[in-house]
Amino acid sequence: MKKAKQIQHMISKPFDLLSEELVFIILDLVAQSPSDLKSFSLTCKWFYQVEARHRRSLKPLRAEYLPRILTRYRNTSDLDLTFCPRVTDYALSVVGCLSGPTLRSVDLSRSFSFSAAGLLRLAVKCVSLVEIDLSNATEMRDAAAAVVAEAKSLERLKLGRCKKLTDMGIGCIAVGCRKLKRVSLKWCVGVGDLGVGLLAVKCKDLRSLDLSYLPITGKCLHDVLKLQHLEELLLQGCFGVDDDSLKSLTHHCNSLKNLDASSCQNLTQRGLTSLLSGARCLERLDLAHSSSVISLDFASSLNKVSSALQSIRLDGCSVTCDGLKAIGTLCISLREVSLSKCVTVTDEGLSCLVMKLKDLRKLDITCCRKLTGVSITQVANSCPLLVSLKMESCSLVSRDAFWLLGHKCRLLEELDFTDNEIDDGGLKSISSCRSLSSLKLGICLNITDRGLSYIGMGCSNLRELDLYRSVGITDIGISSIAQGCCHLETINISYCKDITDRSLVSLSKCSMLQTFESRGCQHITCQGLAAIAVRCKRLTKLDLKKCPFINDSGLLTLAHFSQGLKQISVSETGVTDVGLVSLANIGCLQNIAAVNTRGLSPSGVAAALVGCGGLRKAKLHASLRLLVPPSLITHMEARGCAFLWKDYNNHNNNNTLQAELDPKYWKLQLEEDIEL
């Protein structure tokens, strides 16, 4: 009888047979989907309790929820408050009291309203805290920095754009936080050589130091480059670092692997030679937008680092053929090369560069407009291990070159062919790249549905597809993609004029879809949008601008089914107050754009703003600025919402849209903008 009761209990409560360790394994598998995780925890009381003990990372939507959330999740180690623009001292006190023993990381980079008092409670209570992100705390002063110094175990600290900090505040942190390994001071314009020097002298374990856009000179680099464990040094936009301040620099920083000296306009070959003199193990070098001419003489400064160098970025630099040839000869270990917007690059220079780079994995030649099929053919023949190729606006490259790329470089994972002459034959060849995950074909006027059918059949791992203004694409091509690329996460079909609801219904089969952009698709309606909303539960970004048949019905469906939506644009659609207010039902919503939407009234917009508690950015028509109550705007800004007021002309909208849909008009405008 007793055994029968036990069997009956096992049948009625089968989950009791599972061990906690096994449930933890199951939770690791379902953690990728918030809705699945929620459903799992609500299965029974035991699952609810186990899920609370298992979770380590939290990203709450509102700061006012913190007491309840942290009371349940007592083992929280990583707390991301980027969805909470208004975090008060009381909220930080709650965090310290409820998660003090376990908390190791907290992100306050999008939050404000806290002071030094709140940070003090956090630093004192959270004795295990090793990482804190205070980026964008533009009102933070030295007193708050002195409080941060109380976090004695701190290893990673981000203070980007804390523009009121001075050397004194950084000095306090340097003295108090001796275990620091990674520090970012980007755009801390009040910090100079003294503060950086103190940091280098006191924090001997520093591995990464971001000094971008600081008013420093080469003086503090004497101490920085003595750090025995330094692996990454970022000096982007440091105009005070020049040849004269580096002329006496001697160092042996053999640990340095990544150096970013991009946009250092006063640094030439002479200063760079001093900077690189002791960095014999350097693997990554960024010199983008520097004043140096990449010539044969420049390449000689790479002599001492050439054997280990794996990545070099020269975007926007003046590059000579001899310079590229010398780099290709000296740095044969290169795996990544970026020459984006280097307008002087020619076929000869690129061909000489890649000829000996057999291990090249990534190449960026965006807007190198002088290149033709000659150099691309050399790339295909010389670099069989290539996984990423970005060549936007290389419009002189012949169609045959694209075919050769697909034939020779079968390991390609990322391709950007925006504004190129690729055709269906090229796409057929590219479809043999089975690992392809990102494909950008914007403004490719020679491709049709036939080409997309090849991609759909051959590239089942595709995650991102950009068809912006590729006007030869119709529902048939999109259907081929949806059928063959079921893991698709991002698609852009903006201004593809022949797209209808059939495409949206097809794409609704891609359950992992997160970003959907259909701006200017005049034939899509709420019926197609409903299919996306109902079946694509992970949708986070939606652009419906200039889709005139999208109205309240579509937004009501989104409000019910798309609870993960963070960003939406309904400018120039048929949406009214009813649809806009319904979006308040989406707790994650952060960005709304609703410009030139004639069905909106000031009272409707005001109601929507009040309802969307987590809103961070609202783009509205300028005429509403005087009609929405000023007190509401002040309240929203205090909550962390930024307003963008746009004054678009309502007249001749139809004519403007028709002109924008014309690919010849668009390409002409694009070329004029680039020339300017």
- With cut-offs at 50, 70 and 90, classify the pLDDT of residue 9: very low
Residue 94 has pLDDT above 50, yes or no: yes
- With cut-offs at 50, 70 and 90, classify the pLDDT of residue 25: confident
pLDDT of residue 676: 39
Lowest average pLDDT, out of 371-380, 423-432, 658-667, goes to 658-667
Determine the average pLDDT of the residues in 369-387: 97
Helix runs in 368-416, H state only: 373-382, 399-408
Determine the average pLDDT of the residues in 66-71: 94
3-class state of residue 350 by DSSP: helix
Residue 661 has pLDDT above 70, yes or no: no
Which position has the higher pLDDT, 454 or 297? 454
Which position has the higher pLDDT, 180 or 275? 180
Render pLDDT for 103-147 as a digit per residue (tens, 0 to 9). 999 999 999 889 999 999 999 999 999 999 999 999 999 999 999
pLDDT of residue 673: 46
Residue 252 has pLDDT above 80, yes or no: no
Using CB atoms within 10 Å of the CB of residue 345, give its burial: 0 to 12 exposed, 13 to 18 middle, 19+ buried: buried
Residue 672 has pLDDT above 70, yes or no: no
Residue 81 has pLDDT above 60, yes or no: yes
Which position has the higher pLDDT, 270 or 176? 176
Which position has the higher pLDDT, 303 or 416? 416
Render pLDDT for 636-651 as a digit per residue (tens, 0 to 9). 998 889 999 998 665 4
**Distances 308 to 114, 258, 312, 328, 547 between C-alpha atoms, Å:** 45, 11, 11, 13, 52
pLDDT of residue 566: 95
Give the global pTM: 0.90
User: Which domains are delineated in the chain?
Assistant: 18-55 (1.20.1280)
User: Nearest to residue 283, comparing CAs of 330, 246, 334?
Assistant: 334
- With cut-offs at 50, 70 and 90, classify the pLDDT of residue 3: low
pLDDT of residue 17: 64
pLDDT of residue 663: 60
pLDDT of residue 14: 57
pLDDT of residue 336: 98
* Interatomic CA distance for residues 321 and 474, integer angstroms: 43
Burial 219-235 (b: 16+ CB within 10 A, else e): bbbbbbbebeebbbbbb
Residue 658 has pLDDT above 70, yes or no: no
Residue 12 has pLDDT above 70, yes or no: no
Q: Are 122 and 96 in contact (CB under 8 A)?
A: yes
| Plot region of 398 (φ>0 → left; ψ -120 to 50 → alpha; else → beta) | beta
Residue 289 has pLDDT above 90, yes or no: yes
pLDDT mean across residues, the chain: 91
* Interatomic CA distance for residues 301 and 323, integer angstroms: 11
* Single-letter code of the amino acid located at 328: G
* Interatomic CA distance for residues 130 and 154, integer angstroms: 4
**DSSP 8-state symbol, 518:** -
Determine the average pLDDT of the residues in 564-572: 96
Which position has the higher pLDDT, 330 or 675? 330
User: Nearest to residue 221, comparing CAs of 276, 179, 169, 263?
Assistant: 276
Residue with tokens 């990322």: 414
* Interatomic CA distance for residues 73 and 55, integer angstroms: 7
pLDDT of residue 29: 80
Helix runs in 115-238, H state only: 116-125, 142-148, 167-176, 193-202, 221-224
Q: Phi, psi at residue 297, to the nearest 5°? A: -65, -40
Determine the average pLDDT of the residues in 242-251: 77
Residue 482 has pLDDT above 50, yes or no: yes
Using CB atoms within 10 Å of the CB of residue 21, give its burial: 0 to 12 exposed, 13 to 18 middle, 19+ buried: exposed
Determine the average pLDDT of the residues in 521-549: 96
User: Nearest to residue 146, comparing CAs of 177, 184, 125, 108?
Assistant: 177
Burial 525-556 (b: 16+ CB within 10 A, else e): bbebbbbbbebbbbbbebbbbbbbbbbbbbbb
- With cut-offs at 50, 70 and 90, classify the pLDDT of residue 298: confident
Residues 106/112/113/116 CA torsion (nearest 10 deg): 60
- With cut-offs at 50, 70 and 90, classify the pLDDT of residue 27: confident
* Interatomic CA distance for residues 331 and 306, integer angstroms: 5
